[in-house]
Structure formats: C-alpha cells, structure tokens
Amino acid sequence: MPKLSDGVAHKLPADLQKALSASAKAQRVWEDITPLARNEWICWVISVKKAETRTQHIKRAVSDLAKGKRRPCCWAGCIHRRDKPASPSQKFVLSRKSKK
C-alpha cells in the first residue's frame, strides 16, 4: 500500500488510506490537492460518531475524489486547525453541539 500524504492538523487514518489505495484516480487527486484540502477530507471522515456513518463518508470521499472533487461538500470545515480563528459558520455548529 503506498504511503499517502497527511493533512495539516490530521494524520491520514488507516481505513481512509486503505480505501484511497484501492482507487488510482482517487489517489492521484488526493496527492494533487492541497494539505488543507486533505485535512478537510480527513476531518470530515473522522468527525462522525457512528462507525457506519464513517464507512459511508469514506466511500463517498473516495468516490468524490475519483471524480475530481477537491473538497467535501456542505461541511463547515475543520474545527481542529489552530492557524486561524473559527469562522462564523464553525462557531454556529460548535454552539449547537455544546447544547446537546
């Protein structure tokens, strides 16, 4: 299995690396996108709570990357980055999570 690049704040998890390794197209796009974009895909995959949702996110990430998509859709972005302040949409999402 080839070693694929990590994101900015997140390391590439083994399950996502294994799935990406099964698709040459997804691998090429993965290595072509920026470290920030890779970070967003990784965070989008690992930020879910249920294992079945994570599996769905991995499948969709590989499929979308193979189609040339460079960022996950409809997602506020990685809240783990420390190099910039949280955006208003991220603050909204975080405030909703803290109320649950």
In tens, the pLDDT along 13-65 reads: 999 999 999 999 999 999 999 999 999 999 999 989 999 999 999 999 999 99
- Please tell me the total count of domains within the chain: 1
Considering the domain boundaries, does residue 61 fall inside one?
yes
Stronger pLDDT, 73 or 96, i.e. the higher one: 73
Rounded to an integer, what distance in angstroms lies between the CA atom of residue 74 and that of residue 71? 10
pLDDT of residue 85: 73
Structure tokens at 44: 């989008």
The alpha-carbon radius of gyration of the chain (Å, integer) is: 14
* Domain with 73 in it: 14-99
Rounded to an integer, what distance in angstroms lies between the CA atom of residue 62 and that of residue 30? 9
pTM: 0.78
Considering the domain boundaries, does residue 7 fall inside one?
no
Considering the domain boundaries, does residue 1 fall inside one?
no
3-state SS, residue 36: helix
Instruction: Write the pLDDT tens digit of every residue in 72-93.
Output: 876 666 666 566 676 676 676 6
Query: Which conformational region is residue 4 in: left (phi greater than 0), alpha (psi within -120 to 50 degrees), or beta?
Result: beta
Considering the domain boundaries, does residue 9 fall inside one?
no
